[in-house]
Chains A and B, each alone.
Chain A
Amino acid sequence: MINLFEVTETNKMIEQENLDVRTITLGISLLDCMDHDINVLCDNVYKKIMRVAKNLVPTGQEIEKKYGIPIVNKRISVTPIGFVGANACHSTSDFVKIAKTLDKCAIELGVNFIGGYSAIVSKGMTPAEKLLIESIPEAMKVTNYVCSSVNVGSTKTGINMDAVKLMGDIIKNTAELTAENDSIGCAKLVVLCNAPDDNPFMAGAFHGVSEADCIINVGVSGPGVVKNAIEKCKGADFGELCETIKKTAFKITRVGQLVAKEASKKLNVPFGIIDLSLAPTPAVGDSIADCLEGMGLDSVGAPGTTAALAILNDQVKKGGVMASSYVGGLSGAFIPVSEDQGMINAVENGALTLEKLEAMTCVCSVGLDMIAIPGDVANTTISGIIADEMAIGMINQKTTAVRIIPVIGKTVGETVEFGGLLGYAPIMPINKFGCAEFINRGGRIPAPIHSFKN
């Protein structure tokens, strides 16, 4: 039988170490909503989402109460709108209409975000997908809860450099259109390589075409719990350190698995996957940077950071796979800057640079995340940053992403406030040398040699 010590340990994790379930994400296929008439399409989309997700938020709240654990976000992901709107959308404003429909659903259902305003263009773009991408700045301006993602490369296809170039312009344009709100539109837009179909985390969540009609995916969290566990093995060797992280990750993931199963049963929607990502929040102590510093770094960004992150990421996965029957999504440590107080501190005191963050993304998911840069950066430089990150993903057969915010009217030394879970960020300096000629070549980068496995 459960004893007092075990109960106290669990409740201490929840009450003092910020253990929570980060998100229950309900994936909904919109393929059966397609129509050649945009108004009929929007109506179908609205009806289907409202029907399938009507109990999502109340069910989440019920589970929170039953187990006494916070479920921070209840979210929806849908089939990439680049597919859904292919037949009906003949202009960017047609696509924006769909975005507004998604936003309306989010508001009425009370969910935190709805993801899937997306295009999968890793090899080429259909005319509809190009229109969708071109509509992103306007869509991000007129909606509050819609998240957008564009997959521009994969290990199997190589990198679509036309899309990379276009995304440099789109990110800048989104920043300009939402300039009065510190370019917040860019915080809801991510560029991906090897994007998974079942990711529950925003902004990159979409319900891939390989998925069933609807599915429950759950993202766990708990950097605060891992940090406290790491602090208890001060001075211990790497074997003991790894074992401690692994055991802690097991416990965290089991809670996620319990919540996922329960949500699946109550909503009568099949359970998809648990995403084993450690996701920080701006709350003090709920930080990936603190976990790495707890291993013995003076500051995150110091030499040794990449190795420490590799350990953390790998042990979280090893503990997690034992705890859950199906794992998927992104599954790795997130290293967003604005959402992690430890990362913010490291940037402010000069320990952490964009280049070091890029190196860190080689060993963890997902990528350059929630990084604020000066608003006057060249579009091609943004594309260059994206290309680098996509190359890391393509060559290493992993998911990588770029969610970068060129803050219009601000420069290095200033900070930008996004609010809520998105946090705040110091504007980071970027390399002054350009790459315009490289980006302007156009075409696509061929798939790497190790993609030919057949």
Chain B
Amino acid sequence: MEKGIITVVGKDQVGIIAEVCSFLADNNINILDISQTIIQGYFNMMMIVELSKMDKDFGNVCEDLDQLGQKIGVNIKLQHENIFNKMHRI
């Protein structure tokens, strides 16, 4: 199963999770896990998502998420999980 990590960082406001989740649903990307904290008013979220069934290719989803982030005023990034696995697991 191909997994990706989405990180969302920015000033907290109403509807961030809703916007990101509906984008993912529209693109057939399944959410496996969400963790989220607010540090000094800053919204910090990480999602583990399943990429095998997504409709678009990886690069396009990255760009769309970036644009969505600009629209709602937060920073959204999608990365393949392997960079984190390789760095933090032996």
Contact = CB atoms under 8 A, between A and B. Distances in A.
A257 B48 CA distance: 23
B21 to A, nearest CB: 17
Contact of A254 (B7, B48, B77, B87): B87
Contact of B88 (A2, A11, A66): A2
Given A255-B83, A258-B86, A11 B35 contact: no
A255 B79 CA distance: 13
**Chain A interface mostly helix, strand, loop or mixed?**
helix
A6 B5 CA distance: 11
A207 to B, nearest CB: 27
A4 B47 CA distance: 9
Contacts of A4: 35, 37, 44, 46
Contacts, number: 60
A454 interface: no
Contacts of A3: 35, 46
Contacts of B5: 2, 7
A65 B83 CA distance: 12
Contacts of A65: 58-59, 62
Contacts of A93: none
Contacts of B64: none
Interface of A: 1-4, 6-11, 62, 65-69, 251, 254-255, 257-258
Interface string B22-58: 0000000000010101000000101010000000001
A11 B84 CA distance: 9
Interface of B: 5, 7, 33, 35, 37, 44, 46, 48, 58-59, 62, 77-88
A66 B5 CA distance: 11
25 contacts: A1-B33, A1-B48, A2-B5, A2-B81, A3-B46, A4-B44, A4-B46, A6-B84, A6-B88, A7-B84, A10-B83, A10-B84, A10-B88, A62-B59, A65-B62, A66-B59, A66-B79, A67-B83, A68-B79, A69-B83, A251-B87, A251-B88, A254-B86, A255-B87, A257-B86
A66 B86 contact: no
Nearest to B59: A65
Contacts of A68: 62, 77-79, 83
Contacts of B81: 2
Contacts of B78: 68
B7 A11 contact: yes
Nearest to B58: A66
A8 B58 contact: no
